[in-house]
Amino acid sequence: MKEIDILTKITARGYDELSPEERELTDAAWNATKGAYAPYSNFSVGAAIRLDNGVIVTGANQENAAFSSGTCAERSACFYAGANYPQAKFTAIAIAAVGTDKKRVPNPVAPCGACRQALLEYETLAGHNVPVMLLGENEVYTLPSVKSLMPLAFTEF
Ligand code: THU
């Protein structure tokens, strides 16, 4: 028998510790929460993805009266990026949320399983690790890759 450990290294930083480029991406994610259509949950999520062509694309959760027809912020952002910049590679992702109290969540929020799976595919297409920044009002978690958020993920290629 052997045991296999799964390790994920997360760095926790304050905003003042981010580089100007990181700050730009985190600002875009916070700003993207304003595009949420979330009348059912009142929970607004924003995602920002930096592409290797310099563009930052954003997305926000879009809910629907038929609940399962809605989509999360991360998937709205990554599918927008894929549809509009099919040649571009992802270089970084940031995710933010504003809670039901209309305030930025104090602690970082993490993407749901379906969004992890969707983002993973774009990381695979990029051919390199894509850092993921999870934002809270108090601190920012940075993970080295989407893969590190989803160990033993299903991949077809
Ligand atoms: N949501 C996201 O946008 N991203 C996630 O990774 C998890 C949840 C949205 C879905 C729904 O509109 C709201 O947050 C509350 O679950």
Task: Give distance in angstroms: CA of 62 to centre of ligand 1.
Answer: 9
* Best of 67, 72, 135 for a ligand 1 pocket test (most atoms within 8 Å of beta carbon): 72
pLDDT digits (tens, 9 = 90+) for 109-131: 999 999 999 999 999 999 999 99
pLDDT digits (tens, 9 = 90+) for 10-39: 999 999 999 999 999 999 999 999 999 999
Q: Let me know how long the chain is.
A: 157
* Best of 30, 37, 43, 149 for a ligand 1 pocket test (most atoms within 8 Å of beta carbon): 43
pLDDT digits (tens, 9 = 90+) for 85-101: 999 999 999 999 999 99
The CATH H-level (homologous superfamily) assignment of domain 18-149 is Cytidine Deaminase, domain 2 (3.40.140.10)
The three-state secondary structure class of 50 is strand
CA distance readout (Å), 55 to 116, 122, 143, 148: 21, 16, 21, 24
- Catalytic residue numbers? 74
The three-state secondary structure class of 140 is strand
- 114 Cβ closer than 6 Å to some ligand 1 atom: no
Q: How far is CA 10 from the centre of its chain?
A: 15
